[in-house]
Amino acid sequence: MAALLRGLRAGRLLRGLSGVVTAPTSTVPQCRSLRRGFHRAALRLQDESKSDKSSSSSSSSTSTHREQYQAHSAEQDTEAASQQDSDPNSSEQDQDEEYETEEQLQARILTAALEFVQLHGWSMEAIAAGAESLGLSSASTGMFYNGAGDLVLHFISQCNAKLTEILAEQHNQVQLGQAERKKTADFLRDAVETRLRMYIPYIETWPQAMSILLLPHNIPDSLKHLSTMVDDIWYYAGDRSTDVSGSSHPRSPFSAAHTFLSPFHHHPHHIRPATSQMNWYTKRAVLTGLYNTTELVMLQDSSPDFQDTWTFLDNRIQDVVNMATTAKQMQSTGEAVAQGLMGAAVTLKNLTGLNQRR
């Protein structure tokens, strides 16, 4: 067993040696940014492996050498592993903002391409024009194997990010006491309006974008974006309804910040008692329905500044509120009726002498 380990270490040592020897002799320009990024990742790995090694192995003077060579081979391994993972949307280890990753470059190209959407529509030509505006050859559009779908999904995730920023900013202001907390209905209305207003510059070509999103290979991604957006809005609306499934919200940045809304649990004007009875799914389904129908109305709205759309949104929210209060009323009425019936039954039993208890 020990011999096997020694053999393994020797093998890794040799590999590391060859890595050390070949690396400085390569004079070719590399994907510099990516290489340095991987090097940083490898250094981090090296630190991890060092801490592992120091705790487990019996330290000798040679073991530190072996750690270094192992780290070099680990660098080669991470390079190989990360570069073999040719899916550009996979998690990037590079956290250094100076160097650009493939993902960031693709995001830059797509953002530049958005300006050409009015001219070329949501298509590869727009992406090519975007790449050319950044000084890259139009052949770099080959990186986007999903073509126009990539562009639309990028735009949607950008809009969602902007919306989250705005909602967070508003929330901070409420916490600092600079602004008043809105009713849930108003909050939802404003959030949906803000989000839909981001489509206004692209509204002529938006039907094309929606049809691209409905393509079968794009549906999972577009649904994912929609559900994260709905989650975000409800989160900032102060949603504390019971999660039936028990699973956590799919939003890791906020997982630690669950308690910051608790002081605002008992604010006076709200429909919260009814909505807190509604479960997690109902709320999200309602908001999804609101958002989608309003988006469709917006597509064929020709009124100035889309007034008709916002009126439609108001009416739909009012409907939801009414439904919620009606549901609550029905529930309390039902309870009262049930109690009345029980009372009548007990009285009857007393009268007829069936009730034995004195």
Partner 1 sequence: MAASVRLLFRRISRLSHRNINSTADSFSRRPGCCFGPFSSRCISDAAEDRNTHFGFETVPEAEKAKRVYKVFENVAEKYDIMNDAMSLGIHRLWKDMLLHVMHPQPGARLLDVAGGTGDISFRFLDYVYHQQERQKRRALGSSQTLSWQDISEKYPAEDAPHESSSVVCDINKEMLKVGKQRADSMGITSGLSWVVGDAEELPFDDDQFDIYTIAFGIRNVTHIDQALQEAFRVLKPGGRFMCLEFSKVTNPVLARLYDAYSFQVIPVLGEVIAGDWKSYQYLVESIRNFPDQEEFKGMIEDAGFCSVQYFNFTGGVVALHSGFKL
Q: Under rule CB under 8 A, how many of the chain's residues touch partner 1?
A: 26
Q: Binder to partner 1 among 10, 80, 244, 344 (CB under 8 A)?
A: 80
DSSP 8-77: HHHHHHHHHHHHHHHHHH--S---HHHHHHHHHHHHHHHHHHHHHHHHHS---HHHHHHHHHHHHHHHHH
In angstroms, what CA-CA distances link 264 with 186, 190, 238, 336?
16, 19, 8, 31
Phi and psi angles of residue 179, each rounded to the nearest 5 degrees, phi first: -135, 160
128 scored as a contact of partner 1 (CB under 8 A): yes
Residue in 142, 216, 246, 273 binding partner 1, rule: CB under 8 A: 142
CB of 102 to partner 1, least distance (A): 6
Q: Which stretch binds partner 1 (CB under 8 A): 42-50, 136-144, 260-268, 327-335?
A: 136-144
Q: What are the residue ranges of helices labelled H in 115-218?
A: 117-120, 124-133, 148-175, 184-197, 206-213
Pair 151, 126: CB distance under 8 Å: yes
- Residues 143-182 within binding reach of partner 1 (CB under 8 A): 143
Question: Judged by CB, which is closer to partner 1: 124, or 198?
Answer: 124
By the rule CB under 8 A, 19 interacts with partner 1: no
- The answer to whether 263 contacts partner 1 (rule: CB under 8 A) is no
Binds partner 1 by CB under 8 A, chosen from 1, 139, 176, 351: 139
To partner 1, the closest distance from the beta carbon of 215 in angstroms equals: 17
C-alpha span between 347 and 248 (Å, rounded): 50
Residue 79 CB, nearest approach to partner 1 (Å): 9
Among 46, 73, 78, 141, contact with partner 1 (rule: CB under 8 A): 141
Pick 142 or 253: Cβ nearer partner 1? 142
Tokens of 6: 């020694």
Site mask for partner 1 (CB under 8 A), range 34-53, x = bound: x-------------------
Q: By CB under 8 A, tell whether 125 contacts partner 1.
A: yes
Contact in structure between 100 and 36 (CB atoms under 8 Å): no
Rounded Cα distance, 183 and 295, in Å: 23
Would you count residue 140 as binding partner 1 (CB under 8 A)?
Answer: yes
Regarding 137 and contact with partner 1 (CB under 8 A), the answer is yes
169 CA to centre of own chain: 18
The dihedral sign for the CA sequence 174, 193, 111, 150: positive
Report d(CA 335, CA 332) in Å as an integer.
5
- Shorter beta-carbon distance to partner 1: residue 147 or 181: 147
293 binding partner 1? (CB under 8 A):
no
Give the shortest CB-103-to-partner 1 separation in angstroms. Answer: 10
The residue (of 80 and 346) whose beta carbon lies closer to partner 1 is: 80
- Residue 60 tokens read as 């000798």
Among 24, 135, 216, 273, binds partner 1 (CB under 8 A): 135
**How far, in Å, CA of 125 to CA of 112, rounded?**
12
CA distances from 322 to 160, 187, 269, 296, 319 (A): 29, 16, 15, 23, 5
Q: Which stretch binds partner 1 (CB under 8 A): 5-13, 38-46, 138-146, 212-220?
A: 138-146
Stretch that binds partner 1, among 30-38, 50-58, 63-71, 187-195 (CB under 8 A): 30-38
Cβ contact 233:191 at 8 Å = yes
The reply to whether 131 sits near partner 1 by the rule CB under 8 A is: yes
CB of 34 to partner 1, least distance (A): 6
CB atoms within 10 A of CB 53: 16
Q: Which residues bind partner 1 (CB under 8 A)?
A: 26, 28-31, 34, 80, 83-84, 86, 88, 102, 105, 124-125, 128, 131, 135-143
